[in-house]
Amino acid sequence: MDEKSWLERHLTLVVALVGIITATATATVTNRLTRSRDLEKSHLEMRQKAYRDFLDGQTMLWREPQKKAEADRLITSAKMNILLTGPRSVVCSMTSYWVHVNKSPVCPDFEEARRDAAIYQEMRRATFSSLEIPDLDLDAAVIVPYLWDCTLPGTDLDQLCARP
């Protein structure tokens, strides 16, 4: 009598199961990689649009001062998008410039400004974590002068924005 082993009797089934498992794993990995690349591409496009809008608004201020209100709207919208999508170095650089140029005073109600900045910190964290980008956290002392013409007490932007 010819006795076949369990594997020999079920070889076709085993091969089919291995094929199904391999196909499922490949499809899952491919889907994750494609999704990740698409999100990164979308994030980069949003960032580049924010940069273009900011520069367009600045250019409009210089070349067409009569369109100040339109330029300000464009710049403000771009600033918010840069805050949510831009790298820490860009936000820090912009903040440092404005604090220096405007000689920004300490915020009169700095605790309220700090609490408000916490909202933007969480939005930024959510944006970057959804893209699986390491947390590029910004200190409230950077966000406050980025958004308003004042600083938190004892703020040292050079120290806060130093590259790690």
Distance, in Å, from the CA atom of 51 to the CA atom of 79, rounded to the nearest integer, reads 8
pLDDT tens digits for 111-163? 999 999 999 888 888 887 777 776 678 899 999 999 988 999 988 888 888 86
pLDDT tens digits for 28-67? 666 666 656 776 788 788 889 999 999 999 999 999 999 9
Pair 79, 141 in one domain: no
Pair 58, 104 in one domain: no
Pair 157, 123 in one domain: yes
Which residues partner with 94 through β-bridges? none
Pair 55, 101 in one domain: no
Question: Which residues constitute the domain of residue 96?
Answer: 88-164
Pair 102, 164 in one domain: yes
Given a cut of 60, is residue 1 above it in pLDDT? Answer: no
pLDDT value for 31: 62
Pair 71, 81 in one domain: yes
The conformation of residue 30, written as its DSSP 8-state character, comes to H
Domain contains 80? yes
Q: Is 103 exposed, middle or buried (0-12, 13-18, 19+ CB in 10 A)?
A: exposed
Pair 103, 157 in one domain: yes
Global pTM reads: 0.71
